[in-house]
Amino acid sequence: MKLAQKSWNHTVFGDVHNNLNKVLVDVDSIQRLIESNPDDDALRDQEINAQMVLQNAIHFQEIFLQQKVKVKWHCFGDCNTKFFHNIAKVRHKSNRLSFLRKDGQLFDTQEGIDTSLTFMHHLV
């Protein structure tokens, strides 16, 4: 499975992780040149182009990672695996409220949030 994903990464995306690292190095080197030569308009144009390439590389990496998770979910899905439990933990944490502001009052403890939500639920 892992070998197939690596092959797919290289053929479809052109090795996303290495491409992103190369682009980051390019942007960094251009920015260092600009620091020593701040009035060079050609360097500024190169930086703009490099930043666009960087955004594109980041976008491709996001797509790749989303597809990778979908493939893993398809293969392992709701099975009682470590992968399933890790995904469940992430979803649980992302669905949890860390604070709630109601009528100008801030609730930042779980008890305060629960009390406020319970009170609001009874009003509905």
Lowest mean pLDDT segment, chosen from 15-19, 27-31, 40-44: 15-19
Q: How confident is the model at residue 99 (pLDDT cuts 50, 70, 90)?
A: confident
Query: Residue 124: what pLDDT?
Result: 46
Angle subtended at Cα 34 by Cα 30 and Cα 39, rounded to the nearest 5 degrees: 140
For residues 15 and 81, what is the distance between their CA atoms, to the nearest angstrom?
28
For residue 120, pLDDT over 80 is answered with no
For residues 87 and 38, which has the higher predicted lDDT (pLDDT)?
Answer: 38
Query: Residue 36: what pLDDT?
Result: 92
Indicate the domain borders of the chain. Answer: 1-76, 78-124
Which residues are within 8 A (CB) of 26 and not within 5 positions of it... i.e. 6 or more apart? Answer: 50, 53
Task: Report the percentage of the chain scoring pLDDT > 90.
Answer: 27
Q: What is the pTM of this model?
A: 0.52
Q: % helix / strand / coil in the chain, to the nearest 5?
A: 75, 5, 20
Mean pLDDT of 103-116: 77
